[in-house]
Amino acid sequence: MADVLLLHHAQGQTPGFLAFADALRGAGHTVHAPDFYGGESFATLDEGMAKARSIGFAALQEQGVAAADGLPAATVYAGFSLGVMAAQRLAQTRPGAAGAVLLDAAIPLGEFAADWPAGVPLQVHGGEADEFFMDEGDVEAAREIVAAAGDGELFTYADCGHLFADASSQAHDADAATLVQQRVIAFLDRIQGG
């Protein structure tokens, strides 16, 4: 079993986010999913972003990084959208990272470290109809870090919008979300076996 730190998106621990965590647990992996909103979740991205702004994006990133304290060095860091900031930072800077799964976002190399750490596998998942992922530089950042990782994969999903893998999101796509779960579980199984 892999140890996974799964960080939520701006809408918080929505039912779809929790279901995704449970799917990974159901496949035999240990999933740590801290709640940075004190039990609140939001039905729309605008409401979630307002909450994130009230806390502060830098503060949320620091909380995400601090959530790794006490976890094994060989943890897989995963995040949805806003959670990608801390997940990618941990994967690039915390020694011993077992892997990274980035959903709906990717940050350019150089933001947290000059390069991707050797031996840390990576998956990135993004929707081709996600204006944030496709139009704000995330897909280019994803291509860059996947190439740098050596053991990296970028998956894009036709007609899928932001947070499509969250079953409670307005952009949810059931078929694509199932494929994301299958690919992430196969990735974790491979890390566990390696």
> Is 193 a residue whose pLDDT tops 70?
no
Q: What is the pTM of this model?
A: 0.97
Domain boundaries, the chain: 3-193
How far is CA 136 from each of CA 16, 133, 141, 165, rounded to the nearest angstrom?
25, 6, 10, 20
DSSP 23-56: HHHHTT-EEE---SSTT-B-SSHHHHHHHHHHH-
Token pair recorded at residue 120: 């840390």
- pLDDT grade for 194, boundaries at 50, 70 and 90: low
Q: How many CB atoms lie within 10 A of CB 44?
A: 12
> Is 78 a residue whose pLDDT tops 80?
yes
Query: Are the C-beta atoms of residues 113 and 136 closer than 8 Å to each other?
Result: no
What pLDDT, on a 0 to 100 scale, did the predictor assign at position 6? 98
Q: How many CB atoms lie within 10 A of CB 30?
A: 15
Mean pLDDT of the 51-56 span = 96
CATH number of 3-193: 3.40.50.1820
Contacts of 98 (CB under 8 A, 6+ apart): 2, 3, 74, 75, 76, 120, 191
Task: Give the C-alpha separation, 69 to 54, whole Å.
Answer: 24
Q: pLDDT tens, 18-31?
A: 999 999 999 999 99
How far is CA 77 from each of CA 71, 101, 110, 168, 172, rounded to the nearest angstrom?
11, 6, 18, 22, 23
Token pair recorded at residue 119: 């031996």
What pLDDT, on a 0 to 100 scale, did the predictor assign at position 53? 96
* 3-state DSSP assignment of residue 80: strand
Query: Are the C-beta atoms of residues 155 and 186 closer than 8 Å to each other?
Result: no
Q: How many CB atoms lie within 10 A of CB 8?
A: 27
What pLDDT, on a 0 to 100 scale, did the predictor assign at position 108? 96
